[in-house]
Structure 1
């Protein structure tokens, strides 16, 4: 059974049709990305999915429960992180998480176990007594994620989760989300194509509230690097030592530079390469991901009319 099922979902605000007859399913432990420009209906879909908005038409189910007819049962199975993370900045991390746990019906030993597990999963064990308002934005996002998974939801809903994070925080957050996907289904929205490409198993492409396509996300696993020629042996050694199934082709360039084409079957190839070269202290001039499956798909489907 699908964890999420949308059947003909529509949402109208007065004369404005924000979501127009959208249907898709999300399976257990699957990451589904909602991709589209601002105003494409992503947030409206998420708010309807989580029970904050009532659909104008259609049926939305979470873990088999209708979010309108069986709203309380459906919401118990959802963890939600909206775009502007709702936190109490004057509270300490442990205090806030315990408060949120009690709101979700957890108490006693069950609450203690849930708090410990959430802190461990989200890397919050060293900041438990820190006032939330003094945390970096990256850690505040971790706290918001922790409150969303305290009750072991079947579905985790994330609305633009990497907005405002710096590049390092984005990479760390991406790793956290993939680890959480081992325990539940995830629906994540973004208008940034590269982020969805790194996070999602499948992507629903939206435009003007209409579903254009649902596509499998294909990680290219292929990266092009450009570096000084004298650094090439170190790059090859670092990557082949640390990553499985790596193939590297070298092409000399003018000016003492070399281009390396790196292919690997490992997930998160770009993040892996960045981490390995950083650990080895090797600097490169340029890096790009070869292949653009999702980009090509997005451009192709947004140039056509939506299907129903």
Structure 2
């Protein structure tokens, strides 16, 4: 969500609870600084590793630096705000965290270059994320005792690049080696399995082309969140199979930044119906397994559009039911 201070975070929580009563979420407001960004947020959850912020970005270290401690403090402070505003909530609630491959492609080893370059380091980071998520889910359960269905969305925007040798090395002149599907799946199974064992429901989101949706479902994802405009013919079969198998599919059809021409909920509804027709399904068949969402995060939007986008998602979903 957009914003650059703690008052904006409180407002983001109000918007999330007010505009999406059927799928409220723990907001992220990355405009407040690197500790509040997607990677900083996930590293605040990671358990048992020292991490510090260097000029080149986040790096594994012997002990946590001031920025890592700041990220953890900010997460706890934000969850206090969610707990206060969400008192008495029941039903479903969602939070999100960057996944193991996006972290491995972003965070550096102690002596430089990405964690992605070292088998042992990426395995250690994956396990630390899994353990941290067990604690994180337990904390959310304590703070939101009335919530029956807790969803953890694992964000993996870097997964296709990791699997296609498209992540640059530190020098910028080379690319890290391909991570093959069995290893990619194994790391995701570790993280998604930890979420399930902690009593939450793992979904995976990626607003990137070429995502292996079938592999994610096989690794234990119970929901797949996609950007409608980035889907190709190869994605249709995997998503149709996911819906047939009882998984949730979140279809990102609402623009995530302010559009030149604002679409109506009728236009968006027609777009969803055409997509379902391509899958050979209708809205009555998929029921509440289809979620309508913005295409990606709303941090780059204006405050007005971020609220409008959530309203459009809700009204489009209502049209379908």
Given the two structures, how large is their TM-score scaled by the length of structure 2? 0.31
Greater C-alpha Rg: 1
Q: 1 or 2, which has the higher strand percentage?
A: 1
The TM-score normalised by the length of structure 1 is: 0.32
Greater relative contact order (Cα < 8 A, sep 6+): 1
